[in-house]
Amino acid sequence: MSDFFSLSTRSRYAGSLRAAYEKADAWPADAKEVDVAMSERLYEAVIAGHDIKWEAATGFTITPAAPKPLADIKADALRTVDGLADHMRRELLGDSLRSIEYDLTAAEARAYMTAGYTGEVPPTVQSWADAAGLSPRDATDSILARADRWRRVVYDIRHTRLRAKEAVRDAADRNVVETVVGQLKTDLKILADQYADG
């Protein structure tokens, strides 16, 4: 059985399911019958964003969409690069409020270490010592080791993000832009694996 295509919904419909669509009042009034080959062409045209028109004399005609300007492609890619890096940073370090907690904890631990691990134990250090069953000194060293890891995560993600953005800006065509974004995804995955258990 043939397929049908609707311009109003830019969708194709299996003729074998027409009764079910009509029962659900979901069959478009402008659905036109097409053969399997045209159905596939129309489907691909929709995915590609091409212009599709219908005329009784000629049936469906497909006009390729104008290529997106490289400047727009780059702008989209730059937003994607920032978004991917931000997502990875949140995955590894948590949200911004938790980052404030991390910064406070690291600052208090560093001050306690600088004081020779003497005097009153800072609240953030004491809470970790109590939770992990550590001495204040061991808790401090543990906090500072983790803080060093956080800094390396931030540095590495920043370096990877900025390198990708410059490569996007320098790209000569769409294919290069897509390659850069694909490489960024790979690089961020490597960083995620590297720091996941660090």
pLDDT in tens, 171-185: 999 999 999 999 999
Provide the pLDDT for residue 47: 87
- Inter-axis angle of helices 70-93 and 136-170, to 10 degrees? 170
Provide the pLDDT for residue 1: 65
Provide the pLDDT for residue 63: 93
Provide the pLDDT for residue 34: 94
Q: What is the mean pLDDT of residues 86-99?
A: 81
Q: What is the DSSP letter of 101?
A: H
- The whole-angstrom separation of Cα 123 and Cα 140 is 11
- The whole-angstrom separation of Cα 193 and Cα 145 is 19
CA dihedral 32, 37, 40, 44 (to 10 degrees): -100
pLDDT at 68 over 90: no
The domain limits of the chain are 3-63, 70-195
- The whole-angstrom separation of Cα 19 and Cα 17 is 6
pLDDT at 78 over 80: yes
pTM for the complete prediction? Answer: 0.60
Neighbours of 67 (CB within 10 A): 9
pLDDT at 27 over 90: yes
Tokens of 7: 């311009």
Confidence band of 92 (pLDDT split at 50, 70, 90): confident
Provide the pLDDT for residue 66: 82
Tokens of 81: 């690069």
Mean pLDDT, the chain, as a whole number?
Answer: 91
27: closest CA among 18, 39, 36, 15? 18
